[in-house]
Structures are given as structure tokens and as C-alpha cells.
Amino acid sequence: MTPREQEEARSELRRRRRAILAATREAGEEHEALRTAERGQEVEEEAQAEQGLVDLERLGDAERLELRRIDAAVARLDEGGYGTCATCGATIEPRRLQALPWAVLCTGCEETRELVASR
């Protein structure tokens, strides 16, 4: 994988992460406004928002799983191993990484895993 491809993967992962967090924030805003009115904690809530703290409780299971996958993929970009199949060590197909930038397995190993899981 070339450094350029790695950078593209990194920005795609960032973009997806931001999209999840933005959607979560929107969904939580109404709820947040109510809580703020009730407790009068406006200042504290604003400080939290500025720090970019994420209320993971608010995320659905699917979003939480995707965030974990994205963070793990970013870690592999930093530490090495991104784009390499965790099972057989083959290079993961570029087309697969474009569709699923957090992919850990190559297509062949993923299909085997799904077969085993569906038994």
C-alpha cells in the first residue's frame, strides 16, 4: 500500500467518523435541550461540547461498532498492518478497502468466516 493510498484511507475513515458523530449529535440535541432546561447546567454542557466529548451512551449498537472499527483501522494505519489480512497476511483488495475502509480480512477469509458463522 502506497503512502498516498494510506492517506486516502485515513481521510475516508475520518470522514465516516465525523458523519457518525454528527448524526448522533443531531439526534441528541433535543434530548440535551430538555436536560439543560431541567438542571440548569448550560455552562457545563457547553464545556463538554467544546471538548468534543462524545456521549457514547447515546450511540446505537451499530454506530458504536462502526466507531470501534474505524478507530482500530486508524490504529493499524499508525502502527502498520493496515490493508493486510489479519488471518492470511495477504494484501486486502483495494476495491474492498474502498467499500469497507476498516476491513480486517481479505475477501477470501471474510467469506470463510461468514460460512463458519452461518453454520
- Please list, in sequence order, all residues whose beta carbon lies within 8 angstroms of the beta carbon of residue 118, skipping any fewer than 6 positions away: none
Tell me the closest approach of the beta carbon of residue 84 to Zn ion, in angstroms: 9
Q: Which three cell numbers stand for residue 102?
A: 476498516
Q: Answer yes or no whether residue 88 interacts with Zn ion by CB under 5 A.
A: yes
Tell me the closest approach of the beta carbon of residue 81 to Zn ion, in angstroms: 13
- Binding-site member from 85, 97, 103, 104 for Zn ion (CB under 5 A): 85
- Binding-site member from 59, 70, 73, 106 for Zn ion (CB under 5 A): 106
Task: Look at residues 84, 80, 70 and name the one whose alpha carbon lies nearest to residue 11.
Answer: 70
Q: Answer yes or no whether residue 11 interacts with Zn ion by CB under 5 A.
A: no
Here's the x/- map for Zn ion, 42-81, by CB under 5 A: it reads as: ----------------------------------------
What are the DSSP calls for 66-83, one per residue?
Answer: HHHHHHHHHHHHHHS-TT
CA atoms within 13 A on the CB side of 83: 18
Q: Answer yes or no whether residue 87 interacts with Zn ion by CB under 5 A.
A: yes
